[in-house]
Amino acid sequence: MSMSTTAGVAGVPSGFLDLRRIVAHTGYNRWLVPPAALAIHLCIGMAYGFSVFWLPLSQAIGVGAPVACPAGSGLVNALFTTSCDWKVADLGWMYTLFFVFLGSAAAIWGGWLERSGPRKAGFVAAICWCGSSITSRFASPVHQAGDRTHACK
């Protein structure tokens, strides 16, 4: 990252994500702020869109109809199995965990946000969000690894 001098603070180097750069300079196009805010709010709203995927994820193995797990299999076994489908109730835990981690992250990292500024926080959040999206991309194929019969249908 290249270093530049912040307007108004002569000789003080600052990076693109530095807190001192959040003060708008003369001629700054303030219309750049709403799209950034909208993008952040859409990312947060993805948790609410998770309900759209409950039904397809509950039929990832059986495709047409869910394949039930054996009686007595616990939540951990059901989530990591490759021979039966997830139940919607099991998938609800993922929804719950999202909000637990969202609230915990706000409590833990809120002070850092105030000290470092919104640019660094937004950048770190984007890295975490993209990383979690890439990681979750592997959940369904791993779950389906035990049953390849419907892969070519």
Measured between alpha carbons, how far is residue 122 from residues 6, 127, 131 in Å?
20, 9, 14
Residue 23, classed as helix, strand or coil, is coil
Residue 90 to residue 100: CA distance in whole angstroms? 16
Its pTM stands at 0.57
**For the chain, how long is the longest CA-to-CA vector?**
70
Lookup: tokens for 115: 């000290």
Q: List pLDDT tens digits, range 86-95.
A: 888 878 887 8
Residue 88, classed as helix, strand or coil, is helix
CB atoms within 10 A of CB 97: 10
Return the pLDDT at 28.
Answer: 84
- Burial (CB < 10 A; 0-12, 13-18, 19+), residue 39, is exposed
Beta-carbon contacts of 28 under 8 Å, excluding residues fewer than 6 positions away, are none
Domain limits of the chain? 30-146
Q: List pLDDT tens digits, range 100-152.
A: 988 898 899 999 999 998 889 889 988 988 898 888 787 767 766 655 544 44
Residue 90 to residue 57: CA distance in whole angstroms? 11
